[in-house]
Amino acid sequence: MMPVAMPKQLACDRHGGTFETSPFRGFGEVSIDPVAVKTAGKQPSLENGMPRAINYIRLGVAANLPSSTGRGGARNRADRVSYALTTAHIANLRAAEGHAAAVGLPFTRMITIHWQAAGVPLESMAQATGRFTDLMTKMLARNGSATTWLWVHENGDGKGWHCHLLAHVPAEHVKRLTALQKGWLRLITGYKYRKGVIHSKPIGGRLGLEVGNTELHFINLEAAFGYCCKGAPQTVLDSFGIDRAHEPGGRVIGKRCATSQNIGAKARKIKG
């Protein structure tokens, strides 16, 4: 990954800065408030005049979600509860993000899935996310492409439980991905797709940015990565140089975050 100079934002400006989270606007954020889905046009970054990594999004979710009794496996047991990302989590995610770029498979897309709105119980969220990444990986493999990914789970008042996923999806396969992803959600949940459950956008706002403008892609990827990591304590974010204000990550059952095996600790050790 090619580092570039980035102006430092004051800590007091982080809340309400370029990537703000609220029930009404956010960087791939989700809401359980009954509002209409709207996507604003591209706007310049407050820091560098460049486009935001992903447009602000407003999500509306239908009331009276269906229930399910499905549960995850042993690694997703009901008593495995966390409320924030840890130093170890961030260290692994940061190393995985760097390794993805090093092996030529940088993250190019951010996908947010509102699992509560999709009808998935909190204790089954990790299983659902795992199934989604498996389907995505297999689809890309069938079309001759490798991928990398990382995801983080969050929960909170006014937002519900949801997943932020960063993935390498080559531009030529995006059309097929977007055509299939709603069907995958129906397959995973057993329920008809609800408008606003998934948002899938290219990092930097346009396809092929990682090739056409590597510096701009780097800046936008840093913003996207920081957004995914915002559930860590501020001291942890600062220690990793992540220019993002802490926001509560909420109660999560099962895995809070994960990476694809090809950029995980074992793969990094072999490569090193």
- Percentage of residues of the chain with pLDDT beyond 90: 65
Q: Which of 3-12, 53-62, 64-73, 109-118 has the highest mean pLDDT?
A: 109-118
> What is the rounded radius of gyration, in angstroms, for the C-alpha atoms of the chain?
17
Q: Residue 164 and residue 156: Cα distance in Å, rounded?
A: 14
Q: Is the pLDDT of residue 53 over 80?
A: no
- In a domain, residue 51? The reply is no
- In a domain, residue 258? The reply is yes
What's the pLDDT tens digit per position in 17-46? 333 333 233 444 443 333 233 333 333 332
In which domain, by residue range, is 129 found? 80-271
> Which pLDDT score is estimated for 22?
30
> Which pLDDT score is estimated for 32?
38
Question: Cα separations (Å) of 27 from 16, 17, 111, 161, 228?
Answer: 11, 11, 11, 16, 9
> Which pLDDT score is estimated for 272?
65
Q: Which amino acid is at 16?
A: G
> Which pLDDT score is estimated for 18?
33
Q: What value does the mean pLDDT take over residues 9-15?
A: 36
- In a domain, residue 157? The reply is yes
Which tokens go with 13? 């400006």
| DSSP letter, residue 4 | -
> Which pLDDT score is estimated for 211?
86
Which tokens go with 215? 């510096």
What value does the mean pLDDT of the chain take? 78
How many domains in the chain? Answer: 1
- In a domain, residue 54? The reply is no
What's the pLDDT tens digit per position in 213-241? 899 999 999 999 999 999 999 999 999 99
Higher pLDDT, 272 or 130: 130
pLDDT band at 79 (very low <50, low <70, confident <90, very high): low
**H or E segment and range at residue 269:** helix 265-271
- φ, ψ at 82 (rounded to 5°): -140, 160
- In a domain, residue 6? The reply is no
Q: What value does the mean pLDDT take over residues 112-124?
A: 97
What's the pLDDT tens digit per position in 139-198? 999 999 999 999 999 998 888 999 999 999 999 999 999 999 999 999 999 999 999 999
Higher pLDDT, 27 or 63: 27
- In a domain, residue 13? The reply is no
Q: What value does the mean pLDDT take over residues 256-270?
A: 96
Q: What value does the mean pLDDT take over residues 60-71?
A: 32
Higher pLDDT, 175 or 270: 175
pLDDT band at 245 (very low <50, low <70, confident <90, very high): very high
What's the pLDDT tens digit per position in 194-210? 999 999 999 999 899 99
Burial (CB < 10 A; 0-12, 13-18, 19+), residue 5, is exposed
Strand pairing partners for 259? 150
> Which pLDDT score is estimated for 219?
95
Strand pairing partners for 113? 163, 198
